[in-house]
Structure 1
Amino acid sequence: MSNRSRALARRETMAGYAFLLPSLIFFVGFVIYPMIQCVYTSFFDSTMGREDIFVGFKNYVDLAKDEIFWGALKNTVVIVIVSVPVTCIFSLWVSSVIYNMKGPACSAFRCIFYLPVVTGSVAVAVVWKWMFNNYYGIFNYVGKGVGLLDKNINWLGDERFALGCIILILLTTSVGQPIVLYVSALNNVDQSLVEAAQVDGANKFQCFWKIKWPQIMPTTLYVLVITTINSFQCFALIQLLTSGGPNHSTDTIMYYIYYSAFKLYKYGYGNAMGVVLAVIIAVLSAVQFKLAKTD
């Protein structure tokens, strides 16, 4: 390579880094630095109005003994176990039905399913809170009208139903993006392979499992990882609808972090939970990547 070519390549590289610099500064200042500070503070007894006190691994030891934390972890795991597979399977099924529709019909369905995603969390919570209201909510009204319920149920105030209600709401706000992604992925499947398989006598399920499924695997991996992370980070619905109640039955790790740090002012303890949550998400994401690569 000539000196002129090297100089040109160097200028282009410098120009590229110059364009990246604002985003890089923002990323380091608002993502990397808070992450490092979170890990650092998790080793301190940190609160407002006094100097931080170094306590080593005490916050993590206290977490292991905290029954509320274990209850929040259990609720979070239940949300993930239910919402992730249901979201992926339902999204793939809907996408398989609508992706062959003509343009306006397919666009209309994608818009309908994606609408809860772009709607504000507060608006969504207000609507669902009205639907679950134990006096005039639509679920009690319909349930009593068709004879399924004998009396009104306090859906969000009963330990038996509260977490299930949260999962139902989370599902309605989680399927929009996967449906849009799956529709695009299915439209990019090589149709010549599908037609060749049909000529050889393959049925619809065989065409999907042997041809379409391997080609949409990258999309499936992305949906699995993003849905898992979003499920682990479920907070807004809890904060707006139940505040962790009744009797901590809807506590999640994210909500308990918020409660410990900003209600009890135990910043070090909350950060320790944040580190544990980050490790859990990282391990599960790595496992999902490994399994998808193996397949």
Structure 2
Amino acid sequence: MKPVHQHAVEARIETKKSTVLTQIKKNYSAYLFLLPKLILFVAFIAIPVVWAFVLSFQEFKVFGSEWVGFENYAKVFQSSAFYDALKNTFLFTLVTVPFNVISALIIASLIHPLGKWSQSFFRGAFYLPTVTSMVIVAMVWRWMYNHDFGLFNYVLGWFGMDPINWLGQSSTALWSLIIMQCLIPFGVGIILYLAAMGSISESLYEAATIDGANSFQKWLQITIPLLKPTTLYLVLLSTIGSFQVFTQIIMMTGGGPGTSTETLVHLIYKTGFRDFEFGLAAAQSIVLFFIILVFSVIQFRVLRYDD
């Protein structure tokens, strides 16, 4: 005979199964609408991610891959190219993320007091570059950085200065890309900050006014603390995007000169699709995943919003 507690456990399991089946039958139409998206997610995200993890332990061959264990990961951490790419990606992220988030906060704070029509105009103006293809944006900036007829060297010529080979020398190439990224408005951040500011109760500002606080004090003591959840989301979003920078690199420098603008995603691309070392590229992508995960956890713990 089965013990009494085992009967109780089995009874609870059966009850849960019955509840789940009841909910599925009750909401089957919703699950049918979700099914196409779920199939696409599994086919193009879940399966490739799992396959990349499995592939990272193999030396890929068209006719039968060879299992090599952690050999690919050892190659990753022994590669000077990987550390060069990691250093460049860290620098790119360290500069662009704070600049983009802070500039979005300041711009949104300047737009928020304006009237309805003015807000709509500036929302559209700052969000427009976001919907523009980064390929097109990179091509425009590559023209502006051109050594012979670029806009920046043309302006330098007004002051009698020699032209600079912005993208063709190691000392300026990466910083040129960083400047480009900083000067592209962080449209998503501005829109989200404006929406968050609109949800802050006016009574808080009225109470601060009665206490004698000026506009800057109200912005510093009320607006910024209450925007902390939005700031956390934007920092995470911007950090992930910076670690995955690719389009600007491949369109403007190709990782050069030398390895001065090589980034992790571009290195993964070259390893997989130029050198056809798919196992090593998969290992590099898994390492990148864990780097982003660690940074995200740290940022979440530092910026998390506690009621």
Same fold (TM over 0.5): yes
Does the CA contact (< 8 Å) of 2:85 and 2:263 recur in 1? Answer: yes
The Cα of 1:12 is off from its aligned counterpart by: 3.0
**Does residue 248 of the first structure (1) align with residue 238 of the second (2)?**
no
Residues 1:272 and 1:174: Cα distance change in structure 2 (over 3 Å): farther
Higher mean alpha-carbon deviation, 246-255 vs 177-186, is at 177-186
**Residue of structure 2 equivalent to 1:133:** 146
Q: Do 2:272 and 2:281's aligned partners in 1 also have CA atoms closer than 8 Å? A: yes
Contact 1:174–1:227, Cα closer than 8 Å, also in 2: no
Give 2:54's aligned amino acid: Y
Whether 1:22 aligns to 2:36 is yes
Shift of 1:294: 6.0
CA displacement, residues 47-82 of structure 1 (integer Å, 9 cap, x when unaligned): 4x4421111111111111110110000000001100
Partner of 2:239: 228
Aligned partners of 1:156, 1:110: CA distance in 2, in Å? 32
1:113 paired residue number: 126
3-state SS in 2 of match to 1:160: helix
Give 1:33-182 correspondences, 5 Å limit: 33-47=47-61, 49-147=62-160, 149=161, 151-173=162-184, 175-182=186-193
Measure, in 1, the Cα distance between the counterparts of 2:219 and 2:304.
19
Q: Distance in 2 between matches of 1:209 and 1:172?
A: 25
Match of residue 219 from structure 2 = 208
Give the deviation of 1:18 after TM superposition. Answer: 1.9
Residue deviations 1:130-171, cap 9 Å, x none? 100000001001012124x2x211111111111011112222
TM-aligned CA deviation for residue 293 of structure 1? 2.4
Q: How many residues align?
A: 288
Relative to structure 1, is the Cα distance of residues 243 and 169 closer, same or farther in structure 2, using a 3 angstrom cutoff?
A: same
SS in 2 for 1:79: helix
**8 Å CA contact 1:233, 1:254 repeated in 2:** yes
Alignment gaps of 5+ in structure 2: 1-19
**Greater C-alpha radius of gyration:** 2
Structure 1 pair 7/26, CA: closer, same or farther in 2 (3 Å)?
closer
Q: 2:126·2:185 contact (CA, 8 Å) conserved in 1?
A: no
TM-score by length of 1: 0.92
Distance 1:174 1:262, change over 3 A: farther
How much is the aligned-residue C-alpha RMSD, in angstroms?
1.9
Give the match's secondary structure for 1:256: helix
Q: Tell me if structure 2 keeps the 8 A contact 1:132–1:138.
A: yes
Share of identical aligned residues, percent?
39
**TM superposition shift of 1:21:** 1.3
| TM-score normalised by length of structure 2 | 0.89
User: 1:234 corresponds to which letter in structure 2?
Assistant: V
- Distance between the aligned counterparts of 1:135 and 1:115, measured in 2? 29
Give the aligned partner of residue 11 of structure 1.
25
Deviations, residues 187-209 of structure 1 (Å, cap 9, x unaligned)? 22111111111111122233123
